[in-house]
Structure 1
């Protein structure tokens, strides 16, 4: 039997940290983005409650059933495997008070690896390092999420927030972040609502269940057709319509409410700016070398006008290139970099306006509470990287060479307009308004962001505390 213990001191009472773990969304927030893990069902953390988890990719995923036991309200809960890959697994979550406002979070795992003696022999080289990576990540997320909720919502006010695009890369993490903070989320869905907190919003039919939007505190609008894929004429029309028509339908509905939200945060993108070379780009910068994405972003932002005209504080969140191994550009790049075949795309001095997914979540949350923010707000890291630096840093984090360079001319000949619009425009975008309003980035350097997202931080080199 193996025992691993991981410990972190948190600036929050034990009862608060216990409650955070007990709320819907905690599992999703704690699941590392590089791990193929998904939650099938979750009953809670009370005595006898069960969670069903799928481990592994697609049809190869293994079913893991965990049952909670030895629950001490505000202090502890445990989960043991009743079905799954391990020969034995028992995980104790303890919350030890240190003083009135601080506690120690302790995760202790007793386990026997699968595959008998073979599993025991290879566990120190594969299983234990992976557990170390995962629990270091879990504790970083717990610390940061609790700090954000404490900073912006010290009175523990429960907001009701309507969110569209809840199954996307951002929405699938934003919703758990909000619910673990004690907020109520109502999902804007484009098909018949199935849950009590679902609200129908169907741009195709022009239908919105307006009555269900009455009294919500804020709306965060993320839903849009993915820009990844082959840009056929039909695809481009869907990209445009999903943003312009879908946003206008929602903004017009909000403008008719008797009890409207205090804030309407609508996603946009740094594609608005076009190609600015090496010049610094702020929210005041005008588009240059406009193309399809600039046209889309202009229409997308203009569609929020009905809400702004009705005195709803309206923010157009111009989001940069989101970094996460769970989706988007980084996920597409990782296979080549893992094989040692990575490198820069386009010119070496071309800027790459990145942002860690954690800071997209934190930045969006900040906009809900920052009453001085309205209009366009850049959601990008403070230090955009040149493509050369980006490729070199990603290679270093993965401990792989990144020797290749794909010329822009070659990429254009292969991918045409998609390459020009998405990969070869340089935008040195900085988050001027976000920083001026007081947002503190979790990951403001590329190296820190990639190490966090890929589980390759210095913490993972530290030994576990083994009793």
Structure 2
């Protein structure tokens, strides 16, 4: 199978490349720095700077994960524009390229996030739930999904992966928390009551691969473990896995002053569950947070 990836040099993309190369698939990664693709994704993975470089080659599947990191810095007007263009504008360009092709892929798997629901409070959220409280992150995900779904008019099966907090030792959310926790400065954020939908990186890769091959799967899927936890419990378990205390809270007012609207990502949450994934037959390897953190702590 020939798979085209956008965002292939990111945390999830790199792991997908390793997984699919190991299965014997052919990978092409669209990147602003195609010369680095082989080093980051594997010697057999091809990097291209423009979709036109793919030419008339048969493409069996497209996995669209591109997007500037949403929580790296405050949402200034310039940052919002970058977050929008790196997701929606790029996806619009991908759709135009797909429409221009005689041969089209069978499936488009497009990224999204549980932020689609906004701050869900105490509500349990499945794929049939509607957005609870719309904010910038929610609007961004809604527009991203709506853009990707236009590929259905081209006869392409579209899958939307609403990812939670990906736990990995190589980067991402957990990697940023490791140093303060190791220094004994870890603890709950704000009230600590907000829900955290999390997923182990191995399950994230496995579920994307599952959705690629299950031809009956289409539409949105919550990519998070079956048991979300509150932030206070997450901090306690991470401290336990790292053999460090985890009782120093990060005050809400400090976050709001420093990060502005971006603080809502940390102070809010989603009690999201992977109802559609489990109904489709996917089995999580890491269902409990303690098992996931224990496995990852060996490499942190």
Q: TM-score, normalised by structure 1?
A: 0.60
The match for 1:198 is 47
2:281 pairs with 1:441: no
The match for 1:336 is 180
Match of 1:367 among 211, 217, 226: 211
Following superposition, the deviation at residue 182 of structure 1 comes to 1.1
Give distance in 2, aligned partners of 1:179 and 1:361.
13
2:274 pairs with 1:431: yes
Which ranges of structure 1 fall in alignment gaps of 5 or more residues? 1-158, 202-207, 457-467
Matching of residues 115-194 of structure 1 within 5 Å = 159-190=1-32
2:64 pairs with 1:215: no
Q: Contact between 1:210 and 1:257, CA under 8 Å: does it hold in 2? A: no
Matching of residues 257-296 of structure 1 within 5 Å = 257-296=101-140
Q: Contact between 1:350 and 1:387, CA under 8 Å: does it hold in 2? A: yes
Give distance in 1, aligned partners of 2:267 and 2:64.
28
Match of 1:418 among 262, 273, 283: 262
**CA displacement 1:395-439 (0-9 Å, x = unmatched):** 11111111112232332123211111x201120011111111111
> Would you tell me which structure has more helix in proportion to its own residues?
2
The match for 2:239 is 395
2:150 pairs with 1:306: yes
Q: Contact between 1:193 and 1:200, CA under 8 Å: does it hold in 2? A: no
> Would you tell me which structure has more strand in proportion to its own residues?
1
Larger radius of gyration: 1
Q: Contact between 1:214 and 1:258, CA under 8 Å: does it hold in 2? A: no
Kindly report the root-mean-square deviation, in angstroms, between the aligned alpha carbons of the 2 structures: 1.9
**CA displacement 1:52-92 (0-9 Å, x = unmatched):** xxxxxxxxxxxxxxxxxxxxxxxxxxxxxxxxxxxxxxxxx
3-state SS in 2 of match to 1:236: helix
3-state SS in 1 of match to 2:217: coil
**CA displacement 1:27-67 (0-9 Å, x = unmatched):** xxxxxxxxxxxxxxxxxxxxxxxxxxxxxxxxxxxxxxxxx
Following superposition, the deviation at residue 386 of structure 1 comes to 0.6
Give distance in 1, aligned partners of 2:31 and 2:181.
37
Following superposition, the deviation at residue 233 of structure 1 comes to 1.5
Q: Contact between 1:341 and 1:402, CA under 8 Å: does it hold in 2? A: yes
The match for 2:74 is 230
More RCO (CA 8 Å, sep 6+):
2
Give distance in 1, aligned partners of 2:56 and 2:146.
21
Q: Contact between 2:74 and 2:261, CA under 8 Å: does it hold in 1? A: no
Give distance in 1, aligned partners of 2:121 and 2:74.
26
Count the aligned residue pairs. 291
2:252 pairs with 1:408: yes
3-state SS in 2 of match to 1:343: coil
Following superposition, the deviation at residue 255 of structure 1 comes to 2.9
Q: Contact between 2:9 and 2:31, CA under 8 Å: does it hold in 1? A: no
Give distance in 2, aligned partners of 1:393 and 1:349.
15
**CA displacement 1:196-245 (0-9 Å, x = unmatched):** 833443xxxxxx31753642111111111111123222111100111011
Match of 1:250 among 91, 94, 102: 94
The match for 1:354 is 198
Give distance in 2, aligned partners of 1:241 and 1:454.
35
Following superposition, the deviation at residue 192 of structure 1 comes to 6.5
**CA displacement 1:114-159 (0-9 Å, x = unmatched):** xxxxxxxxxxxxxxxxxxxxxxxxxxxxxxxxxxxxxxxxxxxxx1
* Structure 1 runs, 4 residues or longer, greater than 6 Å off: 192-196
3-state SS in 1 of match to 2:282: coil
3-state SS in 1 of match to 2:249: strand
